[in-house]
Amino acid sequence: MSAKELATGSEPHLTTAAETVARNYRDASIAPSLVSGAAAAFEWLCLSAVGVGLLPVFSVSLAGLTAAVPIGTAFLTLLVAQALGANDLSLLRRHSRRFAKLLVAWSSVFGFVSVLLIIGDGLPDVARLWFVVWYVVGVLALGLASAVTASVTRRLTRAGRLQKRAVILGGGAMAESLITALEETGGNELAILGIFDDRNDDRSPENQQGFPKLGNTSDLVDFARLAAVDVVIVALPQTAEVRILQLLKKLWVLPVDIRLSAHSSKLRLRPRSYSYIGRVPFLDLFDRPITGWSQVSKRLFDVTIASLAIVALSPVMLGAAIAVKATSKGPILFRQPRYGFNNEVISVMKFRSMYADQADIKAEKVVTRGDPRVTPVGRFIRKTSIDELPQLFNVLKGDLSLVGPRPHAVNAHTEHKLWEEVVDGYFARHKVKPGVTGWAQINGWRGEVDTPDKIQARVEHDLYYIENWSVLFDLYILMLTPVRILNQENAY
């Protein structure tokens, strides 16, 4: 939804069919790499637990080095299983076939480690019977763990959570040929939600291969804001360069993978130039940032650091709350609707820094130096960014990240123009969760935005952050934030 639509209260226009499909796919899909990694971790834990659990029965003492043997052996087993392809998504659903690979991995690693330990007398305090029992119980543990993994994976598959959700941009014969190829070779890894096409003639029928036409390119943007779309497949000839560039200008702001179908192209590049769904080749135009395990690591980083920060800064927050309440009438917290991930509107919390009867929830007027709406306490907490500390709870809730593009008010504007009208591609900054602090802020782009150049600079820094994200980059920004805040003069 655009800022204009939020300001006027109008909804994005989608057909009833498109809106129904979008709402049926609101829940995000789960990356296969996450499922494979979780399955491997679960089986490593089970295999390690039985090995360590049996040691007290057959050993005089449970030394740290002794416990490291079954733990390390279990880890090597899962590495071999990975090399054998046991963690491929297609096998995760098939208990018997996958268990056979796990059994090969366990038997080979167990035999190698056992021979080394027995010959080298590496476990002098452990009875030899432990090896036999460990192997047998390990087989049972792997069998049970594999069965559980298969059951969970099949359940997620039936719910459609393991399929990439795709929409096809472009109709006609090329889209029909693409759909046929995907259905024949793509397996069960892709769910096509529908087709979008700007043409309204015989070249673009309302239904192709059982998939409905849901709208045009503009409708696709609104659809992808509502549904959890993973990939947009552009089904246009690679020779239609001008048209493709026009479409990408609209679509690149979305947090999705954008792929150009190479299925019908006569131009053939080297195989490594393509990505594949089944045996269908695609050229990668844009990738969604921070997905899979990167998304997990960023979330763990956020929750851990935010929790520690809340504990450490609780005296500061308590003092700020008392000061706000004691010096002006009104609530302690100020809640404002702002843009979150994928343009979703979220409620961001701050300590109230303005007089309650002059609070600017719609951000109709930018705060300036000496602004009479700001209370004396508010001036201090804004200057030091103490007013932002309640956003740590937004981080725990999942609306914000610790580091990312700052969440702007939905009506934010400069010189009577909404920021999306000032900066081309402004909404691309919403391809990741907004942050409490960010790359733009520590580089001096904080506070009053009274010229188009200032918001342009903010967006450029935000896009740089998105393209270069890493956990270490987040840590670097967090460490610099307190220093830069104290040295900035443009926050009122």
Give the E-state strand segments of 287-380 in sequence order. Answer: 333-339, 345-351
- Asked if 480 and 442 count as a contact pair (C-beta separation under 8 A), the reply is yes
pLDDT at 124: 58
Nearest of 159, 168, 224 to residue 21 by alpha carbon: 224
In this structure, the answer to whether residues 125 and 201 fall within a common structural domain is: no
In this structure, the answer to whether residues 167 and 72 fall within a common structural domain is: no
3-state percent breakdown (helix, strand, coil) of the chain, nearest 5: 55, 15, 30
In this structure, the answer to whether residues 386 and 425 fall within a common structural domain is: yes
In this structure, the answer to whether residues 154 and 200 fall within a common structural domain is: no
Q: Which of 137, 158, 179 is the last residue of a domain?
A: 158
Question: Does residue 256 belong to any structural domain of this protein?
Answer: yes
- Tokens at 410, concatenated: 């939905």
Question: Does residue 492 belong to any structural domain of this protein?
Answer: no
The secondary element (H helix, E strand) that includes residue 479 is helix 471-486
* pTM (predicted TM-score): 0.82
* Average pLDDT per 10 consecutive residues for the chain, totaling 492 residues: 44 80 87 89 92 76 67 92 88 89 93 79 65 89 92 86 88 85 76 87 76 89 91 84 85 91 68 78 89 92 96 94 91 90 91 84 71 87 89 95 89 71 83 92 76 84 93 94 74 56
Q: How far is C-alpha 233 from the geometric centre of its chain's CA atoms?
A: 20
Q: Which of 286, 301, 325 is the last residue of a domain?
A: 286
In this structure, the answer to whether residues 70 and 101 fall within a common structural domain is: yes
- Tokens at 424, concatenated: 């081309």
Question: Phi and psi (nearest 5°) for 333?
Answer: -100, 150
Q: Which of 123, 158, 193 is the last residue of a domain?
A: 158
Question: Does residue 433 belong to any structural domain of this protein?
Answer: yes
In this structure, the answer to whether residues 52 and 110 fall within a common structural domain is: yes
In this structure, the answer to whether residues 461 and 325 fall within a common structural domain is: yes
In this structure, the answer to whether residues 467 and 364 fall within a common structural domain is: yes
pLDDT at 8: 40
The residue segments making up the domain with residue 229 are 3-29+163-286
CATH at residue 246: 3.40.50.720
In this structure, the answer to whether residues 222 and 305 fall within a common structural domain is: no
